[in-house]
Amino acid sequence: MSDYIVEMKHITKRFPGIVANDNVSIGIKKGEIFALLGENGAGKSTLMSMLGGMYEPDEGDIYIRGEKVQISSPNHAAKLNIGMVHQHFKLVSDYTITENIILGVEPVKKLAGIFPYVDIRSANRKIEELSKSFGLEVDPTKKISDLTVSMQQRVEILKVLYREADILIFDEPTAVLTPQEIDFLLGIIEGLRNGGKTIILITHKLEEIKKVADRCAVLNKGKLIDVLDVKETSTRKMAQLMVGREVNLKSDKNPAAFKEEVLKVEHLNVKNEDGFEVVKDVSFTIKSGEIFAIAGVADNGQVEIADAIAGLTKVSGGEILLNGKDITNESIRKRTEAGISYIPEDRQSFGLVLDFDLSTNLALKQYYREPFAKKGILNKEEFEQFGSSLIDKYDIRSGQGIKTQVRSMSGGNQQKTIIGREIELQSSLMIFVQPTRGVDIGAIENIHKMMIKERDQGRAILLVSLELDEIMNVADTIGVIYNGQLQKIASSESLTTNEVGEYMMGAKHE
Ligand SMILES: Nc1ncnc2c1ncn2[C@@H]1O[C@H](COP(=O)(O)OP(=O)(O)O)[C@@H](O)[C@H]1O
Ligand SMILES: [Mg+2]
């Protein structure tokens, strides 16, 4: 038998218009943590989905424990003791933990020897035991809708353990977690490995690989670049292989020089659609030349703060002042004109008109005024000139220049389009909500550079991000939010990543 518990040989998988995996061959040893590293779209999830039974390869062969297999479904994968913990959880929210875990493999008993029924009580007991034995304690009778994201992830892990997986695939498991939760999960993963399980860890975070992985395969644009021994490889080298060029992981930044106050938020309250207060008595200021970042776990009110400032959401209490002027109840357009740029979280629904071409999208916030329009008539030449100059300036790559339909562009280039357009407004306040989400490392580096350049030119910048690394890297001041309230505001130099994590979980506050 071969040394490998999993072998993928010459795997090619195509989707319409793209080769997601191009002749990839890897072998994974029993009992190792094998990391799969690559930028967004490199083909990591696709490759592993073929082990998980979601797709079958167009070309190439898969061997499990030395046997050639055609994994035709997730159930088939489970029979081969392969389990995948997905990036997006697949749990039923009004079922209990136990009901979710046993779904499809319910332990059936026969009442009076005849009538089949599901023995929930013994299932609860079994799951409690299972969860304790792996250090993943849960209350099996709780509903999924009452669980935090990290608890839901525990359930996903228990689900594959319940099915007796001994090859476990984790698809970007730490993307949704706080630093403390990440440490915990990496500990669990190491524990599973030490207990004899084989782990495949998909991630684009280099420190995580450095911490726990034994070997690491690097994918770039569907191709296998290299398989590395992690101990002997620096994170710098990994980043370089992943991106295909030298990258700067830390942004160069001059010391901040704060000037006059640009934004003042006082006692802000915001309610959500259901009438619940999601932003509670939030106050802070941002000065010219300052990057103020709001750190927090997803859905703790940070996006609502940004939306309230930009005018996308109504305020239920408090005041917003821009350059000393009260804008609390102004329209979005008035706010734009008063000096607010906004890079939204959901660039496809709110930032761009996907069916319009690039030049139109680039001028979207200025089309109604000179020089683009005179007395209500659009000037096409101005439009196109403006578009072309921005394509050069912001390195926006597109198939057909300014005529490209924005829908057909990659996520990273769509993001550059919005950022370019918003920076060109030269607003005194620029709001960035998750500006690097779904964007690869090379482009992230550029976005951070742009933000810092704008700050150095005296803009006030509000950054909302779930990526703590990003916040620690670019922010001058950090406000940590938990449950709609700012727990702490301090200069970024005075805070450690761990401290921010504690505030993010509400474990610590002023
Ligand atoms: N179901 C699908 N249909 C069409 N294209 C897909 C599908 N799944 C993935 N792709 C494309 O395949 C490429 C690789 O995607 P993926 O494996 O998800 O990358 P990664 O997990 O490394 O971010 C991307 O260009 C993606 O858009
Ligand atoms: Mg993926």
Distance 20 CA to ligand 1 centre (A): 6
230/240 Cα distance (integer angstroms)? 14
What integer pLDDT is reported at residue 468 of this predicted model? 87
Highest mean pLDDT among 37-41, 67-71, 112-116: 67-71
Query: What does the block give as tokens for 430?
Result: 């620029």
Over 60: is that where the pLDDT of 1 sits?
Answer: no
Fold entry, domain 4-243: Rossmann fold (3.40.50)
Helix (H, G, I), strand (E, B) or coil at 332: helix
What integer pLDDT is reported at residue 138 of this predicted model? 93
Distance 86 CA to ligand 2 centre (A): 9
Q: Which ligand is nearest to the CA of 19?
A: 1
Nearest-atom number in ligand 1 for the CA of 87 is 21
Task: Determine which residue's CA is closest to atom 26 belonging to ligand 1.
Answer: 41
Over 60: is that where the pLDDT of 492 sits?
Answer: yes
> φ and ψ at 57, to 5 degrees?
-65, 150
Q: Which H/E stretch holds residue 121?
A: helix 120-133
Distance 204 CA to ligand 2 centre (A): 9
The CA angle 343-345-351, to the nearest 5 degrees, is 55
Over 70: is that where the pLDDT of 448 sits?
Answer: yes
Residues in CB range of 369: below 8 A, 6 or more apart? none
Torsion region of 486: left, alpha or beta (phi above 0 gives left; psi -120 to 50 gives alpha): beta
Q: How far is CA 42 from CA 24, 213, 441, in A?
A: 12, 19, 12
Residues, CB within 5 angstroms of ligand 2 (ion): 45
Q: Which ligand is nearest to the CA of 86?
A: 2
What integer pLDDT is reported at residue 128 of this predicted model? 94
pLDDT in tens, 382-440: 888 999 999 988 888 887 888 989 888 877 788 889 999 999 999 999 999 999 887 77
What integer pLDDT is reported at residue 88 of this predicted model? 78
Provide the percentage of residues in the chain whose pLDDT is more than 70. 99
Distance 136 CA to ligand 2 centre (A): 25
The pLDDT confidence band at residue 446, using thresholds 50, 70 and 90, is: confident
In the chain, what are the domain boundaries?
Answer: 4-243, 261-351+427-504
> Average model confidence (pLDDT) for the chain?
91
> φ and ψ at 358, to 5 degrees?
-65, -45
What integer pLDDT is reported at residue 51 of this predicted model? 97
DSSP state of 204: S
Residue 350: closest CA among 309, 396, 310: 310
Bridge partners, residue 405, by sequence: 357
Task: Determine which residue's CA is closest to atom 24 belonging to ligand 1.
Answer: 41
In terms of C-beta distances under 8 Å and separation of at least 24 residues, what long-range contacts does 104-111 make, across chains too? 104/75, 105/162, 105/163
Domain 4-243 identical in fold to domain 261-351+427-504: yes
Q: How far is CA 153 from CA 85, 179, 180, 327, 438, in A?
A: 8, 15, 14, 41, 21
What integer pLDDT is reported at residue 95 of this predicted model? 94
Would strands 4-15 and 59-64 be described as parallel, antiparallel, or unpaired? antiparallel
Alpha helices for 394-496 (secondary structure H): 411-424, 441-456, 468-474
Average pLDDT for 40-45 = 88
What integer pLDDT is reported at residue 335 of this predicted model? 95
Distance 12 CA to ligand 1 centre (A): 13
**Residue type (1 letter), 366:** Q
44/28 Cα distance (integer angstroms)? 15
What integer pLDDT is reported at residue 175 of this predicted model? 76
Task: Determine which residue's CA is closest to atom 4 belonging to ligand 1.
Answer: 15
CB-side exposure of 404: number of CA atoms within 13 Å? 20
What integer pLDDT is reported at residue 510 of this predicted model? 66
**For domain 261-351+427-504, which architecture applies?**
3-Layer(aba) Sandwich (3.40)
Residue written as token pair 């938020």: 265
Q: Which ligand is nearest to the CA of 87?
A: 2
Nearest-atom number in ligand 1 for the CA of 46 is 17
Nearest-atom number in ligand 1 for the CA of 40 is 23
Q: Which ligand is nearest to the CA of 43?
A: 1
**Residue type (1 letter), 152:** Q
Nearest-atom number in ligand 1 for the CA of 219 is 22
Provide the percentage of residues in the chain whose pLDDT is more than 90. 63
Distance 329 CA to ligand 2 centre (A): 41
**Distinct helix (H) and strand (E) counts, the chain:** 16, 24
Query: What does the block give as tokens for 252?
Result: 């160069």
Query: What does the block give as tokens for 274?
Result: 């259901």
177/463 Cα distance (integer angstroms)? 19
Torsion region of 436: left, alpha or beta (phi above 0 gives left; psi -120 to 50 gives alpha): alpha
Task: Determine which residue's CA is closest to atom 12 belonging to ligand 1.
Answer: 20
Residue 484: closest CA among 331, 271, 252: 271
Would strands 340-343 and 325-326 be described as parallel, antiparallel, or unpaired? unpaired
What integer pLDDT is reported at residue 410 of this predicted model? 76
Distance 171 CA to ligand 2 centre (A): 7
Q: Any idea which of 1-5, 110-114, 210-214, 232-236 has the lowest mean pLDDT? A: 110-114
Task: Determine which residue's CA is closest to atom 1 belonging to ligand 1.
Answer: 15
429/460 Cα distance (integer angstroms)? 5
pLDDT in tens, 43-57: 999 999 999 999 999
What integer pLDDT is reported at residue 372 of this predicted model? 82
pLDDT in tens, 256-309: 899 999 999 999 999 988 889 999 999 999 999 999 999 998 889 999 999 999
Distance 21 CA to ligand 1 centre (A): 9
Q: Which ligand is nearest to the CA of 21?
A: 1
Return the higher-pLDDT residue of 14 and 115. Answer: 14
* Residue from 46, 414, 437 whose mutation best tests the ligand 1 pocket (most atoms within 8 A of CB): 46
In what order do the strands lie in the sheet containing 485-491?
340-343, 429-433, 460-465, 291-295, 477-482, 485-491
Query: What does the block give as tokens for 306?
Result: 């940004």
Ligand 1 proximal residues by C-beta, below 6 Å = 15, 18, 20, 38, 40-46
Distance 198 CA to ligand 2 centre (A): 20
